[in-house]
Structure 1
């Protein structure tokens, strides 16, 4: 077995020594006193004051002359320490040099399997790092948490973790409850948007796990608390216990507090001076919150898992009436100072649309039509208008004959109010056909960034509605053409509901149409 050559002091080879006859060329140089060449090659040199430590030890020096010809033994290298391993493992210089000057290509050529495996590992590590950064900025460090004190933010993070990432209903409920308890312990305003937001998120979580009754209970408590505060505020202003302008007086500091702060810089104004929220602004905010929550309650009660239609209609009716009543009050009396804006047109239109859908489920189409008219006038989304037009077409197609149509927003003295619309079945079917055609036209016309998937689905629904209406007016060939076009479009859009409705219409046509 060949041993590794270790570099110590090398003796001159035999051919390097000059013979005696060559002394004529020059005198042989004298050697150092402590170091002389041995006549035999096997004789080891004698060392002087400098001791040379060789890495190879002969067993003859330890075990006597009997084993002088035995194989040399090697000293075991010192095992690397943990810092050495970490230093070599995180040596990025070698990694970066491998990617430069053809090192990348060379590594792929020499070890293709290991190179591919390394790329997979590197890609996985990069994905984990990117996901960690995403979670930090969009989850752990999101504004929805940083607005709360640290104990509450910690509980909310855990609650959402057991809601979205690792669903666990028991732990999620525990941390939602703890977050609300901590809000009370730390003295947060129970009517602030942050605290109400925790309660709304809790209701959304309950709905997500199928606990509809629990979600209804939580949302009902929010509505009752908001309305109770609004009622107390209005009574306090009416009896004079609170100022009519709604400005809450800021308590003045006591003399002790003034004395402690006088030694500081009195000319400087505090950076974050707390100003209480105006009572009228807070009333508008809580009343709007109650209206929106009541709309959600109406939709939950109408869900197939609950089926409380009476409660649903009651909640939606109250929400619409309250929104319109407050809008009228502001129009008649004007806005109070620092009262803030009321619900937007889209929000009021959404409440009207929810109530109209409730009437449609109850087959009260004569009540749904005027609400849909109002919602269409308030709608600002170009892709949602065709949806409302489709709903109008469906309501007109099922409007009962002989019942007068209530035209909305027509002044009593205007010519429009004097016009009496027909109540025949033909009139309602023609109106339905017109609205379905308008829905398709408006959905197709939306272009650019404003166009969303809602426009595409509205096109398919309009074609299906046209097929239904044309079948009712006795035009089966045109109805079939619209149904088939709806099937093709719905399949291209991956819209299974459109395919289902259109195929059902084709089946009805096949049953009612006599074969030629």
Structure 2
């Protein structure tokens, strides 16, 4: 199981809010009832009927009217939020295209229409004189559009859009009429610390996304460059000088020195991304180093830490260090099986999946070290766990391993060669 932190660096990039449908009501015309009024209405009296105590009064209960009044008030607030939302700041043609793009991006809608309207909105925004070239509204369209393309597996287009967003953020596109523009690779020579914190966050998030895309498209050198460049920046701004006397330029990472806009989870995600990249490229010693650093940030009592321990176990096993592999797998299993782990962070589903994978991997480790009896025990536990939590892949893998061991047990022992 090679899992990843949820990628908050990119998810926290400011995105365009979804629009609310326009709802007009009497509240917008100031006809809201007064909550302090006495709500009583007299029936009209017939002609000739004397006035007095026999007049029937219909009293309307206060609670329904109070709820109606609150409803009108909430409606007025919602309408105000809608009319003043960020999307209203766009020029009308761009705003209309964005509304359609966001509408069709919703589950169950036509996502292809969403990409079409995002493209239209981006083209209009690039042509508009009202949009700042490096401003959040313009780059926000690019980020949202690029993320959607990536989710659809349209990697070349996603790479193009996200690279354009990065160029705008760092100022490479500030002059649309420039005859000579800096190449994309020039971004690696920039000092990101000179940018505002939120811009740094967006740049790093996009770099991580570009690394993911390059990895998916088998451009390993490019993926490694994006991952290392963004991670090195995060580590650099989270480090402090080794000496307080200024006699050396060396710095040391200190998680207490991290900037306010960067969380442990975000830095851990960047470390784990590069570690997973190295693991899938058979560079296990590098992966182990990064996973261990990730673990110091994730802590030892989270479901995510059990996933990282599983990754450590896989890397040690790939290097033939089976004792270390078993040790990390067992530690991860203890965390994943503890019912309090998932409750603490409300990510019990991560623990459930990690537990199934770790049980199966423990069986694999014992099978590789010729302890078939223990291997069978862990395979059966993995299958039972998969059945309990409806983890179909876990069930299939465990079933296959159990049948393989059962088949081997029915075979006569091979005679030693003469």
TM-score of Structure 1 vs Structure 2, range by shorter chain = 0.5 to 0.7
Q: Give the corresponding residue for 1:189.
A: 132
- Once the two structures are superposed, residues 125-165 of structure 1 have per-residue CA deviations (whole angstroms, 9 ceiling, x without a partner) of xxxxxxxx9xx99x978956356565544321111223335
Q: Give the corresponding residue for 1:206.
A: 149
Distance in 2 of aligned mates of 1:308 and 1:371 = 21
Matched, 1:351 2:270: yes
What root-mean-square deviation, in Å, do the aligned CA atoms of Structure 1 and Structure 2 show?
3.6
Contact 1:383 1:455 in 2 (8 A): yes
Contact 1:180 1:195 in 2 (8 A): no
Distance in 2 of aligned mates of 1:378 and 1:396 = 20
- Once the two structures are superposed, residues 8-46 of structure 1 have per-residue CA deviations (whole angstroms, 9 ceiling, x without a partner) of xxxxxxxxxxxxxxxxxxxxxxxxxxxxxxxxxxxxxxx
Q: 1:156 aligns with which of 98, 102, 107?
A: 98
Distance in 2 of aligned mates of 1:345 and 1:155 = 37
Matched, 1:221 2:134: no
Distance in 2 of aligned mates of 1:456 and 1:168 = 32
- Once the two structures are superposed, residues 328-372 of structure 1 have per-residue CA deviations (whole angstroms, 9 ceiling, x without a partner) of 269969xxxxx9734222111101111111111111111100000
Distance in 1 of aligned mates of 2:84 and 2:398 = 45
Paired residue secondary structure (2:105): helix
Q: Give the corresponding residue for 1:372.
A: 291
Contact 2:97 2:117 in 1 (8 A): no
Q: Give the corresponding residue for 1:388.
A: 308
Q: 1:450 aligns with which of 325, 330, 345?
A: 345
Matched, 1:437 2:333: no
Contact 1:467 1:479 in 2 (8 A): yes
| Residue correspondence of structure 1 range 44-443 to structure 2 within 5 A | 145=87, 148=90, 151-164=93-106, 166-167=109-110, 169=112, 172-179=115-122, 181-182=124-125, 185=128, 187-228=130-171, 282-303=195-216, 306-328=217-239, 341-379=260-298, 382-399=302-319, 425=320, 428-443=321-336
Paired residue secondary structure (1:302): helix
Q: 2:369 aligns with which of 461, 466, 473?
A: 473
List gaps (5 residues or longer) in structure 1: 1-132, 231-278, 334-338, 400-424
Q: Give the corresponding residue for 1:497.
A: 393
Distance in 1 of aligned mates of 2:293 and 2:207 = 19
- Once the two structures are superposed, residues 414-447 of structure 1 have per-residue CA deviations (whole angstroms, 9 ceiling, x without a partner) of xxxxxxxxxxx4xx21111111111111112215
Shift of 1:375: 0.7
Shift of 1:183: 7.1
Residues 434 and 161 (structure 1), Cα distance of their counterparts in 2 relative to 1, 3 Å cut: same
Distance in 2 of aligned mates of 1:450 and 1:326 = 28
Paired residue secondary structure (2:196): helix
Query: When the two structures are aligned, how many residues end up with a matched partner?
Result: 302
- Once the two structures are superposed, residues 435-489 of structure 1 have per-residue CA deviations (whole angstroms, 9 ceiling, x without a partner) of 1111111112215353420011111111011111111222111111111111121
Larger radius of gyration: 1
List gaps (5 residues or longer) in structure 2: 1-74, 174-191, 243-250, 253-257, 413-418
Residues 181 and 353 (structure 1), Cα distance of their counterparts in 2 relative to 1, 3 Å cut: same
Residues 377 and 144 (structure 1), Cα distance of their counterparts in 2 relative to 1, 3 Å cut: farther
Residues 158 and 440 (structure 1), Cα distance of their counterparts in 2 relative to 1, 3 Å cut: same
Distance in 2 of aligned mates of 1:286 and 1:222 = 11
TM-score (norm 2): 0.63
Higher relative contact order (CA 8 A, sep 6+): 2
TM-score (norm 1): 0.52
Distance in 2 of aligned mates of 1:491 and 1:507 = 17
- Once the two structures are superposed, residues 210-232 of structure 1 have per-residue CA deviations (whole angstroms, 9 ceiling, x without a partner) of 321100111122233334569xx
Paired residue secondary structure (1:384): helix
Residues 147 and 454 (structure 1), Cα distance of their counterparts in 2 relative to 1, 3 Å cut: farther
Shift of 1:204: 1.9
